[in-house]
Amino acid sequence: MSAPQKGEEIYTCPMHKDVRQAGPGKCPHCGMALLPEGARFAMVRHMFSNPLPLVLMGAIMVVLMIAAVMTR
């Protein structure tokens, strides 16, 4: 990773705060997109950038609720 220069925006990983670089990119630890440092609601914005995990989580929750109702 390059050292940030004066005036450049610093990007960090939402999960690994020790990962910092000047400019966008991917985290070397987890592969998540780096976000501007201090971005408000950065994790929420990142989660909605790729909706597949949210859709899968919703589908799993629906299946679990149906299974719970059917076992009564």
Give strand ranges (E) for 1-72: 10-12, 20-22, 35-36
Whether the pTM exceeds 0.85: the reply is no
Token representation of residue 27: 């985290």
CA distance 7 to 52: 35
CA distance 1 to 20: 8
Q: What is the pLDDT of residues 8-64, one digit of tens each?
A: 788 988 888 899 999 999 999 999 888 888 776 666 777 777 888 889 999 999 999
- Per-residue pLDDT, 54: 84
